[in-house]
Amino acid sequence: MNTLSFDQLPNVVAELQRGQSEILALLSKKAKPQPEIETPINLNEVSEITGLTKPTLYGYVQRNEIPHNKKGNRLYFFKSEIVDWIKTGKQKTLKELKAENDEFLSNTNK
């Protein structure tokens, strides 16, 4: 290890500060999250995700029952939209239906 003289200290401190500034700049660049771009999927992948056949999916597309994008003669889907579409078809349990019914009846009696 080199022994520093008193006269060298200001230069060494300045160099350390520059290095620290560069490190902080690099860290702040890395810390900014880049928005993830979702890539479209094709009909085969939608069929695998949903378990539905291609003709069924084409029927849903024709009736606009499934979220899709069309560019030219090609169909494009996004996995997140398909998963959300599946979630919207949730059937309520008997317990949920009874609670909803009780709430409705209690509001109409007022």
pLDDT value, residue 41 = 95
CA-based nearest residue to 74, from 33, 110, 44, 104: 44
Could you tell me which of 32, 31, 33, 54 has the C-alpha nearest to residue 42? 54
The pLDDT, as a whole number, for residue 110 is 60
Tens of pLDDT, residue by residue, the chain (110 residues): 578 788 888 888 899 999 999 998 888 877 667 678 889 999 999 999 999 999 999 999 999 999 999 999 999 999 999 999 999 888 888 998 899 899 988 887 66
How far apart, in whole angstroms, are the C-alpha atoms of residue 66 and residue 81? 9
Q: What is the dihedral of CA 51, 57, 63, 66, to 10 degrees?
A: 60
